[in-house]
Amino acid sequence: MPICRTRDGVEIFYKDWGSGRPVVFIHGWPLNGDAWQDQLKAVADAGFRAIAHDRRGHGRSTPVFDGYDFDTFADDLNDLLTGLDLRDVTLVAHSMGGGELARYIGRHGTSRIRSAVLLSAIPPLMVQGPDNPEGVPRSVFDDLKAGILNERSQFWKDTAVGFFSADRPDNKVTEGNKDAFWYMAMAETIEGGVACVDAFAYTDFHDDLRKFDIPLLVVHGDDDQVVPIDATGRKTAELVPGAQLKVYEGGSHGIALVPGDKERFNKDLIEFLGS
């Protein structure tokens, strides 16, 4: 298997398809690089080199007990980019992966980066507070952690519904979408599942976003039940000069996987890569 070994000895699994200018995909919680299969093929077919890794403690990467914070995730990403000597890279990140992307730029700059895409992403800040009234209440994050610790298999089955907005009339979510979510979630360590909640809930990315000096595409569904657009996507687009914001009407948190939305996203992504 293709493996990148990090500075602290963690083995990061990755897929590497196609050739051309590199596009690196960063998955959300509690998924892994398999969440990007449709996009990997679309991008490779369009003449780019498509790469997606499994975050530490997720999928086929080392199931470590610690290191579930965004400084570590960003440094892992840097180890991957430098290990493969990738340059002129477009980073594409979903959900929690958006924090990894933002913190990477905050810590390592943009010398290797051409452009970025944030899809249903958590920056600038998820948790509700006086300066972020549109955010998510702390009690929601407490419930997520309790659900994982109580009986994570059923918790992930239940969580898939809101992830894909499968509770909405006329949704296009398949049983396969929900099964795939469960399968990937069960391949995440239980410690990673819980620790990542604290990481994506409470990490502030305002300073990281201020260091963006590259083209940025922000894509977000207005029916995202996990990462509310008014607290995240809209604010990110306002904070980063020149950022494009595309709002998918009725779009769920799982845009890249749901039939209809994923084809639209693939088209928007390839157009952005060619711009």
SS3 state at 60: coil
Q: Which of 115, 224, 252, 261 is catalytic?
A: 224
Active-site hit among 95, 115, 165, 252: 95
Strand partners, 52: 15, 25
Tell me how far apart the alpha carbons of residues 20 and 43 are, in angstroms, rounded to a whole number: 10
Q: Is 224 known to be catalytic?
A: yes
CA 49-34-265 angle, to 5 degrees, is: 65
CB distance 256 to 39 below 8 Å: yes
**Up-side HSE of residue 49: CA atoms within 13 Å toward CB?**
13
Token pair recorded at residue 250: 């009725």
- The answer to whether residues 237 and 246 touch, using CB atoms and an 8 Å cutoff, is no
- One-letter amino acid at 259 equals P
Active site residue 222: no
- As given in the structure block, the two tokens for residue 39 are 């996009």
Residue 235 belongs to what H/E stretch?
A: helix 233-239
Residue 239 main-chain phi, psi, to 5 deg:
-80, -30
Instruction: Indicate if 253 belongs to the active site.
Output: yes
Contacts of 34 (CB under 8 A, 6+ apart): 59, 180, 184
> Looking at the annotation, which residues are catalytic?
95, 224, 253
